[in-house]
Amino acid sequence: MSRRRKIYEGKAKTLYEGPEPGTLVQHFKDDATAGNGEKHEIIDGKGVLNNRISEYIFQNLNDLGIPTHFIRRLNMREQLIKEVEIIPIEIIVRNIAAGSLAKRLGLEVGTKLPRSIIEFCYKDDELGDPLVAEEHITAFGWANPAELDDIMSLAVRVNDYLSGLFMGVGLQLVDFKIECGRLFEGDIMRIILADEISPDSCRLWDVKTKNKFDKDLFREGKGGLIEAYHEVAQRLGILSETENALSTGPRLVK
């Protein structure tokens, strides 16, 4: 690993040069951060679980014709991805009021929204990823109107898929964040899904108990994060029968 060229290091993932032109290796770390990096801990096994959960979701999206950067998983912590030009916007889709939306608009946490809402944040750590409008995105050229249409249509399709997937295993998809990138293939440019989808980037509540199965456990200092992520993986059927029977921690097969 030491000889590989590091392309980018984020809070929870590192990108390395890939084996072929146009590819990268995405490495999932165990680092958990919140409050724009103010709170930071290493949580053993988080990267392994997120690699597997994100693989499962992105592979299913690829199979459904929703384009993503995911090519294949390489090992416990790494996946091969297509290199894209990241659009500097976080796209947040919300179904139920929680987090910053509940705070900003004074909504009771848990209120079902009249319809799904898409929000955008400008990716800039120094500014704390501020909420921006479509107008800012197009005026500052972060994405053009046609790209923004593609991004919103991707976000809606991902929301439909994820809501159904999680509802099927007794979890409510409260909200989630995605990132998109430009994939250049010859003369053609396509907007595809990039980054990851995992309990780090979603809010997931148990349908019956409303217990949390996502990074809010860490943000709120509640503990039990690895057990919760492990259960998400188990419910999705990502872990083997043997692993389920053992259920002693986040050890994974393969």
Binding site for ligand TMP (CB under 6 A): 92, 98-101, 129, 175-177, 201-203
Query: Is the Cβ of residue 15 or residue 92 nearer to ligand TMP in the bound state?
Result: 92
Residue 179: which residues within 8 A CB-CB, separation 6 or more? Answer: 86, 87, 89, 90, 91, 123, 193, 194, 195
CB of 104 to ligand TMP, least distance (A): 9
Query: Is the Cβ of residue 78 or residue 216 nearer to ligand TMP in the bound state?
Result: 216
CB of 24 to ligand TMP, least distance (A): 20
Query: Is the Cβ of residue 17 or residue 134 nearer to ligand TMP in the bound state?
Result: 134
Residue at shortest CB range from ligand TMP: 99
Radius of gyration of the chain (CA): 18
CB of 212 to ligand TMP, least distance (A): 11
Phi, psi of 125 (to 5 degrees): -60, -40
> In whole angstroms, what is the distance from residue 205 CA to residue 212 CA?
5
Q: Which residues pair with 89 in a beta bridge?
A: 122
Give all strands (DSSP E) within 10-150, no chain letters.
13-17, 23-28, 31-34, 39-42, 70-73, 78-82, 85-86, 89-96, 112-122, 131-132
CB of 206 to ligand TMP, least distance (A): 16
Sign of the CA dihedral 205, 157, 113, 106?
positive
CB of 248 to ligand TMP, least distance (A): 28
CB of 86 to ligand TMP, least distance (A): 14
Distance, C-alpha 224 to centroid of its chain? 20
Query: Is the Cβ of residue 4 or residue 8 nearer to ligand TMP in the bound state?
Result: 8
Query: Is the Cβ of residue 91 or residue 243 nearer to ligand TMP in the bound state?
Result: 91
3-state secondary structure string across 177-197: EEEEEEEEECCEEEEEEECCC
Query: Is the Cβ of residue 199 or residue 250 nearer to ligand TMP in the bound state?
Result: 199
Phi, psi of 174 (to 5 degrees): -75, -50
CB of 101 to ligand TMP, least distance (A): 6
Query: Is the Cβ of residue 92 or residue 183 nearer to ligand TMP in the bound state?
Result: 92
Phi, psi of 209 (to 5 degrees): -85, -15
